[in-house]
A = this chain, B = another copy of it.
Amino acid sequence: MPVSPLPRHIVTEAVTRAFAEDQGGRGDITSLACIPANSEEKFYFKAREAGVICGLEPAVEAVWQMDPDALISLQVKDGGTVKAGEVLFGVNGQARALLSAERIALNFLGRMSGIATFTRRHVDAVAGTGAKIVHTRKTTPGLRAFELQAVQAGGGALHRYGLDDAILIKDNHVAVCGGVAAAVAAAKAHAGHMTRVAVEIDRLDQLAEAVEAGAENVLLDNFSLDDLKAAVAEAKGRVTLEASGGVNLDTVRAIAETGIDVISVGALTHSAPNFDVGLDEA
């Protein structure tokens, strides 16, 4: 699946903010002291391990914010796979600027490729089952757009982006609202014709109530494999079923094999190991 480019202003602002915190008011005083102003160099951003790459947009933005004339030769696209040692892109420009941009570019690449690679492992684990791997809202504050792009780069699919683009009734809503049916009814009365209504349940016997009330998606939270299977059988395709809770690389295949439609994995964004990338001189 192709990876969607990020809205431009989001990339620009996040990279500017990253430089603001890294450069303070005096900039990269080490490079200023040690590198002549007119020195030009060629560097390579290289993967130090195998994986799925993401983060090229902010990485390139970081280079160009420091040296607008730097020449960049991309060797891979977001969503592409690399082996250890493979070059992501080469960059030719002012040495000072490139060394100042290095860490910012690497920080975006490391986090986003880490998420992409970790997502891919989940996607591969459910291959052939028809289940989609999706993210949650457990993202890093301020970086959601980047992290969801990384999930896509790894073959994951999109959940709702935030609180405002779909209705997902959770256990606390059900409790305050007085039951699944009441909550779904309230939601459907409020939802526009372009907005889906999902409801989280934690017991199999709530499924019929949810379907009856008109929920379009039902999230089965922390269900046993047997209960997931029973839910799939009962739903008969009338609603989209999502499993969540206790999902990891050891359990995801069995969950997928229950016939569930979607598996949401918080760890994709909150606990993906960093992907190791580095900068080498040519």
**Residues of B with C-beta under 8 A to A15:** 141
**Size of interface on A: residues with Cβ below 8 Å to B:** 107
Quick check: B111 and A22 within 8 Å, CB to CB? Answer: no
Task: Say whether chain A's binding surface is mostly helix, strand, loop, or mixed.
Answer: mixed
Taking the complex as formed, is A251 at the interface, i.e. its CB lies under 8 A from any CB of chain B? no
Quick check: B9 and A27 within 8 Å, CB to CB? Answer: no
Give A contacts to B, CB under 8 Å: 1-2, 4-10, 14-37, 39, 41, 43, 58, 65-66, 95, 99-100, 102-104, 106-108, 110-111, 114, 132, 134, 137-145, 148, 157-170, 172-173, 175-177, 183, 186-187, 189-196, 198, 217, 240, 242, 261-262, 266-267, 270-271, 273-274, 279, 281
* Given A23-B163, A24-B24, 14 extra CB contacts under 8 A: A2-B32, A21-B141, A22-B164, A25-B162, A30-B167, A30-B169, A34-B177, A36-B176, A99-B173, A99-B176, A102-B172, A132-B193, A159-B194, A172-B279
Quick check: A18 and B141 within 8 Å, CB to CB? Answer: yes
Copies of this protein, total: 6
The 5 closest A-B pairs by CB, nearest first: A33-B190, A158-B192, A165-B165, A24-B164, A25-B145
**Residues of B with C-beta under 8 A to A141:** 14-15, 17-18, 21, 58, 104, 107-108, 111, 143
Quick check: B164 and A29 within 8 Å, CB to CB? Answer: yes
Interchain CA distance A111-B133 in the complex, whole Å: 22
Q: Could you name 29 residue pairs across A and B whose Cβ atoms are closer than 8 Å?
A: A8-B19, A10-B25, A22-B137, A22-B162, A22-B163, A24-B162, A24-B165, A25-B148, A25-B161, A27-B163, A27-B164, A28-B163, A29-B195, A33-B191, A34-B176, A36-B176, A95-B176, A102-B172, A107-B137, A107-B270, A111-B140, A111-B270, A158-B194, A160-B192, A160-B195, A164-B165, A165-B166, A175-B281, A193-B261
Quick check: A21 and B145 within 8 Å, CB to CB? Answer: yes
Quick check: A33 and B186 within 8 Å, CB to CB? Answer: yes
Quick check: B169 and A34 within 8 Å, CB to CB? Answer: yes
Interchain CA distance A177-B33 in the complex, whole Å: 10
Quick check: A21 and B25 within 8 Å, CB to CB? Answer: yes
**Residues of B with C-beta under 8 A to A163:** 22-24, 27-31, 100, 103
Quick check: A142 and B139 within 8 Å, CB to CB? Answer: no
Quick check: B161 and A164 within 8 Å, CB to CB? Answer: yes
